[in-house]
Structure 1
Amino acid sequence: MKKVNLLEDPVKKLFAGYLLPSISATMVTSIYILADTLMIGRGVGAIGIAALNILLPLFSLFFATGMLFGAGGGILLSVCKGKKDESGANQYYTVAFIMAAVMSVFYTVLGHVFFLPVTAFLGRNENMTPYVEEYGRILISGAPAFLFASFYQVFVRNDKAPKLAMTAVVSGGVLNIILDYILMFPLKMGMAGAAAATVIGTCVTLLILLTHLVSKGNTLKFVTGFHLSQAVAVVKNGFSSFLLDMCNGIVTFLFNRQILSVAGELGVMVYGIISNSAYIASSVNNGISQAVQPILATNYGAGKKDRLKEVRHLAERTACFSGVLFAATGLLFPALVTEAFVRPEKEILAMSVPAIRIYFLSFAAMGLNVLYTTWFQSVMEPGNALKICLLRGIILNSILVFILPIFMGVTGIWMVMPVTEVLTFVMCRIMLKKQSFCRT
């Protein structure tokens, strides 16, 4: 079988070869959460969805930390390979792995010790407490699996095995869905069953990814020594990916707290439906960006600027198509989106239909903003990538989620993300125009 050449193969061929596997790999979070939400909505009810939504920031934290070290080390690994520096590539892989292992232990231990205060901070109330604790304790025990599944997706893909990453995620996701049904319905394990299915599915994903390390095509090798400068470089280059994955968790946290005060538990349940749909859109957008990341980083390392522009333009067109498709779905079929998760009552539809129509408009620009984050990371401009992530993941959301409801009520909450993504897109285009090379 002919080996992939990221520096010479046609860009369209490379992008096509990485696109589906990358999207499938980044769907890992949304597959697990979506399956849990659908089953919990049918087996436990709206209160179960609200409880799960309270815990979504923890999902985001575990997977985002895997991306922090995976993308940070993976980008530097690809740049080194573009420069034919195999030793440097493996040093970054080793340093990234050590940091990921330390954080997985940290999250597991502290998560159990401080479980009640952490979940109270996230928005848990008395009605949700038994459901949050039943699901959350198992979720935290699976933190190492979540973190390393995310970590190895990036490194396996950067080591020219995107199809294995796709196989791993699809296998774990299918198993999760099957176990969700078995544990929740025939075995009647409720929220604990959904959590156990998610952890088991993730472990299977990770085990399949690890088979790459014993394959003939593997070039990932552990080396001795831990260099602080390399650790700093990994964190610096991966921090934007961390924030990118944390955006959903941060937004969910802010929205949950504000919606509880404005619309109560019904609003949190409706937002649970929306946020799960947003995970799907985010996964597709992340997949498009991750498909071009190894190509961009490797060609940047080799100084091939014309190929950089070609890759970016191809990804931009794909992200635009994806964004329009998601936005149109929300505008045309909001009731169907609701019915996919719960048996909707009149009061639920009355709130969810306009909310979905407004919120889904944000997906039109989201894909491009995610892509530009990866672009700046891959051409070693992590400062610009960080600005994008801070703008759309923290700054604008934090301001608008408190200001807009004052003038527009609960409608203002649904307007936050469309306004945020449009303003971020404008800033991204300004950054691109100011870039010293590879201008459009």
Structure 2
Amino acid sequence: MKRVVVGLSGGVDSSVAAYLLKEQGYEVIGLFMKNWHDDSVTISNECPWLEDSNDALLVAQKLGIPFQTVDLSEQYKEKIVDYMFSEYEKGRTPNPDVLCNREIKFDVFMKIALSLGADYVATGHYCRKGEIEVDGDPMYQLLAGIDDNKDQSYFLCQLSQEQLSKALFPIGELTKPQVREIAAKMELITAEKKDSQGLCFIGKVRLPEFLQQQLQPKEGLIFEVDATNEIYDKKEIQFNSVEEQLKFESTNIKYTPVVAKVVGKHQGAHYFTIGQRKGLNVGGTKEALFIVATDIETNSIYTGQGHTHPGLFKKALFVTQDEIHWIRTDLALKNGETMSVKARIRYRQELQNATLHQFENGLYVAFEQPQSAITEGQFVSWHLNDELIGSGVIS
């Protein structure tokens, strides 16, 4: 009997994952990760960790599996929270869920599981794992979950071959309704429980307040840039190389107050992100204002009216060499090579046709259609059919 440690989060997905593994004949151990202590920033009645760990315990009892809680809050603070602050300070928008999987669940947590003699670690993610042979060795694949509506492979886009080799995703072949049905049939306490939102394993966090504890408010100006501004005129430019063209297409427009008018004030450019619409508190415009750029140096925010504003769109993005991650290491591009893929720049975005271009200093992702709100610090993932083969941090 192989031993599997399941990350029981107190939600329905991991509960059913544990049940299915037990049915398949594995020796299952349930572990709940406590990643957060500071109740002052969680909206406390919205899934505090206590309630979740209690639900996880009740599920473990019902399934007759051993259960314990591990406190990873120190590592979580260091690897996730501190990283988020430093990214926001630089004016980038990090994705804590992707990092949490890479740094906590499939690293710190996985090491604890292996020290308990586990052969595998399992989670309630909606994705699947495949295995093929490359040059006589096993190569693991990260495949989309069967439920299109819930596919969570994006959140695992930074996993390595080693991490995948020890991972199991028991509910990847099921849809959410099927998972709930199994939980109800087994009379698990989590069967009807709402899906948790917010930072992974913290519960609902008031992000602005959370950030404000570390990042001091600093009043600055909100500018509006007209959609017809000549800054958006697409001049016919002759490029000397593909790389030069991609660099041009992926570079942010440099906004200055000269091209815009002041429409309001804000409390700190580092609290805002590209494409954001809420929280600006500027009225009197015909269409809603969307953020097209933030400038941390001058503490300015530039906005435009409507979700089709030209300032929101770009055709390409760049990933620096040290931020490129291939899950399928055998497919990694060499300098000068290209690959046709599908790509996405955020969770739940439909996959977009794109071409990867590898150069010495990094990788360009060139999209067939211009993409809205490409955001620095977020992850871009690239796919072949239903397989996620690599990802990188948008620079």
TM-score normalised to the size of structure 1? 0.24
Q: With structure 2 as the length reference, what TM-score do the two structures score? A: 0.26
Structure with max Cα Rg:
2
Q: Which has the higher contact order (CA 8 A, sep 6+)?
A: 1
| Structure richer in helix, relative to its length | 1
